[in-house]
A and B are shown apart, each in its own frame.
Chain A
């Protein structure tokens, strides 16, 4: 299983490096939205709930672009048949696609989060970075699991640009709540991360549930 997943992941990363079709689009989208918030709210500095909400809604909407394109190479170049014709189980495919999406999201956040801090956080992230890294990593894992599942569901449909957000965003609501709540104290100027542990536990639970659920149902996707 690991060799198959590694081969698919390597191929996906190589294609993204050459085509630059997903990550740059996600980065551009995120930074543009932060710029729009910067001017739209007419404020140089946000904090607390508003800052947290702006950060996470933007990142999750950017993830929709990556999820929509996750099976693009397979769809456009007949690669789904290539995968089905190889002696590789569907779990390998799920692991590879989820890992590729995790890498894409991490790459996007390396640019988008500093851009968010620059455009919308007055005092910057400062000492909150270690906690934010943990939240981002757990969020990316959850989005990657759900995203790979939804991408596979929509891979062979014509209206995937519509189906992906319609399926993905409702499934991400619990994750959004946990991420926003966990991040909110970090972005407040007057308080520390008092409830971080509770929200991190919820995020971890979400990740475990959706990774297991995705592995369980992925076998039935991409079927004729």
Chain B
């Protein structure tokens, strides 16, 4: 069954076209790699899939929800790990996760379980502002999977992570998680190696996947 179906998707910011003519199909359990240089439209595509941005033309169907009309169906099913960790700096990691857990109707035991899983049990009560970028990224990953989403939208998820931390997060956000994933990355070989479907973007339009995307 298709988890994501995009047909000639288009999204603009004012007059500027950020995405155009994007079509892709991804089945449940598969991983889609989205590749392209800076400003190619990768993050815009993720935000459309998350329901954070409305598509302006074309068709977008995510986990059975037609966007934007059925956007409300997505939050319970989608985990989003973007450039911003979506954590409050003045709160501790535990407080942040408990806050998101309450918004998602998830119990505190899941928070403790995830803090241990991302290796943050010892630093869980430190304010986020005192943590390194790598540790914040671990918390952000825990936040993204807190509600056990069916679809993970990952924007450079391994940014700031050392190899040990990247390995630690693998069962949560990697292929081993078994979730349907959309993975934005600049690491072409790495992303292609862990994906079933790939799409290249250049100036918001589909382009052949390869090194040319970055020229």
- Which residues of A approach B to under 8 Å, CB–CB? 3-4, 6-8, 10-11, 14-15, 18-19, 73, 77-79, 81-88, 223-224
Q: Which of B50, B54, B75 lies in contact with A87, CB distance below 8 A?
A: B75
Given contacts A3-B105, A81-B84, contact A86 B75 (CB under 8 A): yes
Contact A81 B82 (CB under 8 A): yes
Q: How far is the CB of A14 from chain B (nearest CB, A)?
A: 7
Given contacts A85-B75, A87-B76, contact A11 B86 (CB under 8 A): no
> Which residue of chain A has its CB nearest to the CB of B146?
A86
Q: Which of B57-65, B88-96, B180-188 interfaces with chain A? A: B88-96
Instruction: Write out the residue numbers on chain B whose beta carbons fall within 8 Å of the beta carbon of A3.
Output: 102, 105
Q: Which of A7, A78, A81, A223 lies in contact with B103, CB distance below 8 A?
A: A7
Number of interface residues of B (CB under 8 A): 27
Contact B103 A87 (CB under 8 A): yes
CA distance A18 to B91 in the complex (A): 8
Given contacts A7-B99, A78-B85, contact A87 B91 (CB under 8 A): no
> Which residue of chain B has its CB nearest to the CB of A17?
B90
Instruction: Write out the residue numbers on chain B whose beta carbons fall within 8 Å of the beta carbon of A82.
Output: 86, 100, 103
Contact B89 A77 (CB under 8 A): yes
> Which residue of chain A has its CB nearest to the CB of B103?
A86
- For the complex of A and B, the 3 pairs showing the least CB-CB separation, nearest first, are A78-B84, A7-B102, A86-B103
> What 18 additional pairs, Cβ within 8 angstroms, besides A82-B103, A86-B75?
A10-B99, A19-B90, A73-B88, A73-B90, A77-B84, A77-B86, A78-B82, A81-B80, A81-B82, A81-B84, A81-B86, A85-B78, A85-B80, A87-B72, A87-B103, A87-B105, A223-B54, A224-B53
Does B8 lie at the interface of the complex (its beta carbon under 8 Å from any beta carbon of A)? no
Contact A11 B99 (CB under 8 A): yes
Q: 29 A-B residue contacts at CB 8 Å?
A: A4-B102, A11-B91, A14-B91, A15-B88, A15-B90, A18-B91, A19-B90, A73-B90, A78-B82, A78-B86, A79-B88, A81-B52, A81-B80, A81-B84, A82-B86, A82-B100, A84-B75, A85-B50, A85-B51, A85-B75, A86-B75, A86-B100, A87-B103, A87-B104, A87-B105, A88-B75, A223-B54, A224-B52, A224-B54
Contact A77 B87 (CB under 8 A): yes
Instruction: Write out the residue numbers on chain A whose beta carbons fall within 8 Å of the beta carbon of B88.
Output: 11, 15, 73, 77, 79
Q: How far is the CB of A90 from chain B (nearest CB, A)?
A: 10
Instruction: Write out the residue numbers on chain A whose beta carbons fall within 8 Å of the beta carbon of B76.
Output: 87
Instruction: Write out the residue numbers on chain B whose beta carbons fall within 8 Å of the beta carbon of A78.
Output: 82, 84-86
